[in-house]
Each structure stands twice: as structure tokens, then as C-alpha cells.
């Protein structure tokens, strides 16, 4: 081999090595956004929720700043890098961070200016996740209901709400503009929940709810895209009406949304069904709490067994609806929250334990089978929907964690 050819080969090798190194460092630093929503989605399951940690506060604190201490207002543990690394070890691939921005974190009401200390703390937690190679869904959560509730009343000033939403999301988008496609923005949380969308005492029809929601989601999309940089192509999540599966499928408003780039949107719904098993906390005259769920879990008290119409096949069918309506049309879905209350201490009622495990496994596996990313809700406060003991960084509820793990193992992503 001549010296000239050898020299050329060495130069080419160095160039390739340098390019690859720059690309790797660029992605690590968060300067690369190249994946569509469909491509990103299959890298994100299963997901875990930080719960109400960064969304905690009081409605009386709306539109003013009360500092970063709200992180431990509704649960006792400050979020640490060690915790996030532990979440990664459990097999989770993404973290959803429910976040308040208005409720206790605004320093200038007219300009909707977000407290820079609060923004820095949120960014710190996002960095924990990105450093662990976890995807992040960062949203505007309930946030005192300034939009999710008040924005759907008959007398809501929709134009003003859109202006405020634009100002808030512009700031968030600017703060995270250089982050790569590990960071995903979700415009709202559960829009319209609470029955606030009324006209003369009657609920506005679901199609009108969806139309108003589309206006707010469009403001969110436009605000993010206008900041440029990586936000030009960043994957964004929009929510269905009340994040209810049936209402979202029935009132698919995606055709009303305009995004300058195709294939960059995801839809979000939540899943806490059947309510009598997952969340109901006292018996009513016509309905009883269900302690037992699933085809293999039947207790001696028939009143405590879930109706067979709402067990595994129900979950399967609900998730299949989402695949048909959205995933098959190029719009992945996140099950942004799912969870069921652990009613008794683990070991106290083995059939209940088995029911919790079976429910988490079913929701996880059927969601994944249908191209939906399931995010387990976690409140870190003992029984209820608590999976991880954050103070001691260990699994608290083995029923839930095992259910998620087994659900992932049993599932197959559809594309």
C-alpha cells in the first residue's frame, strides 16, 4: 500500500471518528431531535409518574410565587438523582413529570412570568432523567384549575386563556429548547374534568368540549414551534377530552389541529377503570367497592368481586379502540396515568394482592400490545397508588411493580 493511499485512509478514518464523536456528544448534550412520534413511542414503555410532586400546592397560591418548597407539600421526599436512577433500574424507560407553573410559581401576573428558581428546579429533575437515558414527558398539570377547569366554563375568556397559555409554554419551551428528543412536552393534563364546562346549568356537549380543547391545544403547539431550535421538530402530546378513552375516540379533534410538521404529535388519555375497583373509597347505595379483580381472582363476598364485564377483556377492548383511532393513523398514545388503590396492607388479603398485580399486568400488556405507552401513577404516601418508597429508594408495592414487569414481558409492541 502506497504512503499516499495510507495517508488518505488515515484522514478518512479520523474524519469518520471525529464526526461520530461529535454526533454522540451532540446528542448527549441535547442538540439532536430527529425522531418522529411513532419512532420515539416504541422506546418509551413502560413509563412512571413522579406523581403530584412538582404539581403540589394550594389554589390560594395561584398566580404568585411561593418558592420551591412546594415539592414536598403533598409527599415528603425531595426528588434525587439516586431515585431516578433507581427508576431506570426497575425497567422504566420514561418518566412523566406532572408540573404546576401558575399555582405558586408566577412572579409577574401580567406577563405570566415563571419563577426562575422553580424553572431551574424542574430542569434539574429533567436532567436527572436525561442523564439516565430516560425519556421525559413534561406537562402543565391541574395547576390550580386556571385552565383545565376555568377554561371550560360558559363564561370563560377563551382568548385571554390562550394568551396566558402561550406565554407560559413559550417560557417552558425556551428553557428546554436545546434538549434532544428525550424531552417531550404535554400541553395539559385532564382538560374539562370536574363538570365545569356548563352552559345554563347543563353540560356542554362533548363535541363542543373537544372544539374548545382544540383551541387551547393549538395555542400550545404554536407557542412551542415558534421558539425554534429543537422545538421545531420536538414531539408534543395533546390530550383527549377529560382524557377519557371513549370521549377521546368519539371526539377525535386531531383533524382540527395544525402542526407545521407531520408525525410529531401524540394523544394522551388516562385509565382508572373500573372505578369501583381502582378508586372508589366508600360503598354507595347502588354500588359497592370491589376488592377483587380479574378472571382468576374471586372472593367469597360476591359484592366485592368486579363485574366480569369490566375485567381483562374490557381493558383489552379499551386499548384496542385507541390503536384503531390513533396508532393505526400514525398518532401514538400515552396512557399518561393509570393506577388502582392498594386497599389493604400487602399480605393481609392475598386475593386482593393478586387482583392488584393482575390489573397492573393487564393494563401494561394490553396498552403496549396496542402501541400505547402506559405510565403508572405513584404518590409515595403508603397504601393507595404507591409503588416506590422514595425516602428509602426501594420498591414499596411489589404487587404493582411485579404487575408492570410481567405486563411488559408478556407484551409485544405492534410495529
What is residue 34's predicted lDDT score, i.e. its pLDDT?
A: 81
In angstroms, the CA 99 to CA 264 distance is: 22
**Cis ω on the peptide bond leading into residue 283 (within 30° of 0)?**
no
Closest residue by Cα to residue 143 from 59, 79, 237: 59
In angstroms, the CA 406 to CA 351 distance is: 18
**Which pairs with CB-CB distance under 8 Å and at least 24 residues apart come from 289-292?**
289/343, 291/343, 291/344, 291/349, 291/351, 291/352, 291/355, 292/351, 292/352, 292/355
Rounding to the nearest 10 degrees, give the CA dihedral for residues 87, 89, 94, 98.
Answer: 0
What is residue 292's predicted lDDT score, i.e. its pLDDT?
A: 98
Closest residue by Cα to residue 49 from 144, 145, 139, 130: 139
| Whole-prediction pTM | 0.91
Phi, psi of 359 (to 5 degrees): -65, -45
What is residue 60's predicted lDDT score, i.e. its pLDDT?
A: 84
What is residue 2's predicted lDDT score, i.e. its pLDDT?
A: 54
Phi, psi of 47 (to 5 degrees): -115, 155
Burial (CB count within 10 angstroms: exposed 0-12, middle 13-18, buried 19+), residue 107: middle
| Residue for grid cell 415558534 | 226
Indicate the DSSP class of residue 400: H
What is residue 180's predicted lDDT score, i.e. its pLDDT?
A: 96
Query: What domains does the chain contain, in order, with CATH numbers?
Result: 35-410 (3.20.20.80)
CB atoms within 10 A of CB 398: 14
What is residue 8's predicted lDDT score, i.e. its pLDDT?
A: 39
* Residue-by-residue pLDDT tens, the chain, 415 positions: 554 544 434 334 444 443 333 333 334 444 467 899 999 999 999 999 999 999 998 888 899 999 999 999 999 999 999 999 999 999 999 999 999 999 999 999 999 999 999 999 999 999 999 999 999 999 999 999 999 999 988 889 999 999 999 999 999 999 999 999 999 999 999 998 865 555 555 555 677 888 999 999 999 999 999 999 999 999 999 999 999 999 999 999 999 999 999 999 999 999 999 999 999 999 998 899 999 999 999 999 999 999 999 999 999 999 999 999 999 999 999 999 999 999 999 999 999 999 999 999 999 999 999 999 999 999 997 889 999 999 999 999 999 999 999 999 999 999 9
Report yes or no: 190 and 242 within 8 Å, Cβ to Cβ.
Answer: yes
In angstroms, the CA 319 to CA 167 distance is: 35
What is residue 188's predicted lDDT score, i.e. its pLDDT?
A: 97
What grid cell was written down for 64?
404568585
Burial (CB count within 10 angstroms: exposed 0-12, middle 13-18, buried 19+), residue 114: buried
In angstroms, the CA 387 to CA 379 distance is: 8
What is residue 204's predicted lDDT score, i.e. its pLDDT?
A: 59
Report yes or no: 190 and 213 within 8 Å, Cβ to Cβ.
Answer: no
Indicate the DSSP class of residue 307: P
Half-sphere CA count of 25, side-chain side, radius 13 A: 6
**Cis ω on the peptide bond leading into residue 88 (within 30° of 0)?**
no
Amino acid at each position: 500500500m502506497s504512503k499516499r493511499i495510507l495517508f488518505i485512509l488515515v484522514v478518512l478514518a479520523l474524519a469518520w471518528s471525529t464526526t461520530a464523536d461529535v454526533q454522540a456528544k451532540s446528542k448527549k448534550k441535547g442538540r439532536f431531535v430527529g425522531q418522529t412520534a411513532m419512532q420515539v413511542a416504541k422506546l418509551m414503555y413502560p413509563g412512571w409518574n413522579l406523581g403530584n410532586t412538582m404539581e403540589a400546592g394550594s389554589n390560594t397560591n395561584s398566580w404568585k410565587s411561593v418558592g420551591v418548597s412546594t415539592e414536598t407539600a403533598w409527599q415528603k421526599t425531595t426528588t434525587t438523582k439516586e431515585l431516578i436512577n433507581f427508576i431506570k433500574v426497575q425497567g422504566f424507560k420514561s418518566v412523566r413529570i406532572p408540573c404546576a407553573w401558575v399555582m405558586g410559581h408566577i412572579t409577574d401576573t401580567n406577563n405570566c412570568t415563571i419563577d426562575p428558581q422553580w424553572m431551574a428546579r424542574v430542569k434539574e429533575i429533567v436532567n436527572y432523567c436525561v442523564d439516565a437515558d430516560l425519556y421525559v414527558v413534561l406537562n402543565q398539570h391541574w395547576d390550580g384549575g386556571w385552565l383545565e377547569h376555568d377554561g371550560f366554563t360558559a363564561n370563560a375568556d377563551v382568548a385571554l386563556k390562550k394568551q396566558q397559555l402561550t406565554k407560559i409554554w413559550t417560557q417552558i419551551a425556551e428553557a428546554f429548547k436545546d434538549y434532544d428528543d428525550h424531552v417531550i412536552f404535554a400541553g395539559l393534563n385532564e382538560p374539562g374534568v370536574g363538570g365545569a364546562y356548563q352552559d345554563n346549568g347543563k353540560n356542554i356537549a362533548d363535541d363542543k368540549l373537544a372544539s374548545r380543547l382544540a383551541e387551547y391545544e393549538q395555542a400550545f403547539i404554536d407557542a412551542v414551534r415558534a421558539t425554534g431550535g429543537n422545538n421545531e421538530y420536538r414531539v408534543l402530546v395533546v390530550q383527549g377530552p377529560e382524557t377519557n378513552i371513549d370521549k377521546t375516540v368519539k371526539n377525535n379533534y386531531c383533524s382540527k389541529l395544525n402542526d407545521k410538521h407531520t408525525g410529531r404529535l401524540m394523544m394522551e388519555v388516562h385509565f382508572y377503570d373500573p372505578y369501583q375497583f381502582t378508586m372508589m373509597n366508600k360503598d354507595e347505595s347502588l354500588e359497592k367497592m370491589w376488592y377483587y379483580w380479574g378472571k382468576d381472582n374471586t372472593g367469597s363476598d360476591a359484592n366485592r368481586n368486579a363485574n366480569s364485564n369490566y375485567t381483562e377483556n374490557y381493558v383489552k377492548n379499551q386499548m384496542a379502540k385507541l390503536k384503531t383511532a390513533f396508532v393505526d393513523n400514525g398518532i401514538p398514545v400515552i396512557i399518561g396515568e393509570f393506577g388502582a388503590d392498594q386497599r389493604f396492607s400487602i399480605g393481609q388479603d392475598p386475593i386482593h394482592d393478586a387482583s392488584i398485580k393482575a390489573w397492573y399486568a393487564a393494563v401494561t400488556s394490553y396498552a403496549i400490545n396496542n402501541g400505547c405507552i402506559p405510565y403508572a401513577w405513584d404518590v409515595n404516601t403508603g397504601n393507595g397508588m404507591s409503588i416506590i418508597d422514595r425516602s428509602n429508594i426501594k420498591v414499596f408495592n411489589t404487587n404493582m411493580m411485579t404487575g408492570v414487569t410481567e405486563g411488559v414481558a408478556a407484551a409485544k409492541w405492534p410495529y
